[in-house]
Amino acid sequence: MDMTFLLQLLINGLVVGCIYSLVATGFVIIYKATSALNLAQGEFLMVGAYICLDLMTRHNIPFFQSFLITLAFSAVLGLIIERVILRPLIGSHLISVIMVTLGLSSILKALVQLAYGTDTIPFPEVFPPEPVQIGPIPVSQGYLYAIGCVTLLVTLLTLFFKYSKTGVAMRATASNQQVSLSMGISVKKMFALSWAISAIVSAVGGILLGTIRGGIDMSLSFMGLKVLPVVILGGLDSILGAIVGGVIIGVLENLSGGYVDPFVGGGAKEVAPYIALILILMFKPYGLFGKKKIERV
C-alpha cells in the first residue's frame, strides 16, 4: 500500500470519473429541459462507441474523422428519437415517458447486438501506447487525452449555457415552459436540441471509454446505470453537480476497488457507488448542487 498505488488509483478514478461526468451531463441536460429521466443514456454511449469503431475498422476512416462523423450521427439519432418517440408523448404522464426510455434502451441494445454480435470487439489503438511519466507514476496517454477532451467539452457546454442566446433559452425552457413560449421560444426545438446535445456528449464518453479499455462490448450500456448515483450525488438538475459527482464517484469506486476488494474478495468496486447513493439520499436528498426552490416571503 504505497503512495504510488494510491496515486495510480486516484488517476484511474479521475479518468473514469471524467467520463461519468460527461454521461451525467448528458443525463442532466435532458432532465433539466424535459424533466424526464433518460434511462437509455448508457445505450447512447454504447451506440456511439460502436459506430466510431465501425467507421474505423470497416471503412478505414482515420480516428479523428470517425470521431466527428460519430458525433454528427449521434446528434441526428438524438433528434430522430425525440421527434418520433418523445414528442408525441409531450403532456402525458412522466412515468410513461420514463418507461418509454427504458423500452428505447432495450431496442438500441438489441439493434447493436444484431449488427455487431455480443463478443468483445477490440478497439484500435488510437493514442500512442507509451505512458508519460508524471512524477513517480507512469500515466497512459489515452488517459490524458480523455481528461483533456472531457475538460474541453464541459467548458464548451458551460459557455454555451451561460452566454449563447440558444443556451440561455434552453435554460429558460427548463425553468418554465409556458413563459418561454410567451417569449417566442419554440419549446419543441429546445427539447430536440437537448436530446441531440445529450446524445453527442454520451457518444464522446463511449468513444473515450472504448479507447481506454481497448475493447467494447454490451457492458458499455451499464454506464447509464452507473451514472444514476452520479447525478443524484450532484443534484439531478445541476451540470456542475454532474461534473463534481462524476469525479467523486469515479475516485470512490477505484479506491474501494483497490483497498476494500482484497479483503472482501472483490465486488466492492461495483457496490460502492450505490452505497454512496443511499447515504446521499438519506442526508442530502437534493444532492450537492441540486436546486432548492427560491421562496420569496
Give the DSSP H/E element, type plus range, for residue 133.
strand 132-134
Question: Which range binds other proteins by CB under 8 A, 124-132, 170-178, 212-220, 243-251?
Answer: 170-178
Residue with Cβ nearer other proteins (3 or 183): 183
Residue 83, interface with other proteins (CB under 8 A)? no
Name the phi and psi angles at 127, rounded to 5. -100, 150
- Using CA atoms, how far residue 95 sits from 38, 39, 53, 238, in Å, is 11, 12, 34, 22
Among 70, 140, 180, 194, binds other proteins (CB under 8 A): 180
Q: Three-state DSSP class for 137?
A: strand
Which triple of cell numbers denotes residue 150? 472531457
Which triple of cell numbers denotes residue 169? 433559452
Among 7, 8, 144, 171, binds other proteins (CB under 8 A): 171
Residue with Cβ nearer other proteins (58 or 165): 165
Which triple of cell numbers denotes residue 68? 466527428
Count the neighbouring beta carbons within 10 Å of the beta carbon of residue 203.
Answer: 31
Residue 93, interface with other proteins (CB under 8 A)? no
Calculate ∠ Cα 221-226-231, nearest 5°.
Answer: 125
Give least dist CB 36 to other proteins, A: 18
Residue 135, interface with other proteins (CB under 8 A)? no
Among 84, 135, 165, 265, binds other proteins (CB under 8 A): 165
Among 60, 184, 263, 265, binds other proteins (CB under 8 A): 184
Give least dist CB 234 to other proteins, A: 16
Residue 296, interface with other proteins (CB under 8 A)? yes
First to last CA, the chain: 55
Ordered alpha helix ranges (H), 184-296? 187-213, 223-234, 239-259, 261-264, 268-283
Site residues for other proteins, window 222-281 (CB under 8 A)?
Answer: none
Residue with Cβ nearer other proteins (106 or 176): 176
CA–CA separation, 59 and 25 (whole Å)? 31
Residue 92, interface with other proteins (CB under 8 A)? no
Residue with Cβ nearer other proteins (177 or 211): 177
Which triple of cell numbers denotes residue 71? 458525433
Residue 294, interface with other proteins (CB under 8 A)? yes
Residue 186, interface with other proteins (CB under 8 A)? yes
Among 25, 74, 177, 198, binds other proteins (CB under 8 A): 177
How many residues contact other proteins, by CB under 8 A?
20
Question: Which range binds other proteins by CB under 8 A, 78-86, 110-118, 171-179, 223-231?
Answer: 171-179
- Across 248-272, b (16+ Cβ under 10 Å) vs e yields bbbbbbbbbbbeeeeeeeeebbeeb
Residues making contact with other proteins (CB under 8 A): 165, 168-169, 171-172, 175-186, 291, 294, 296
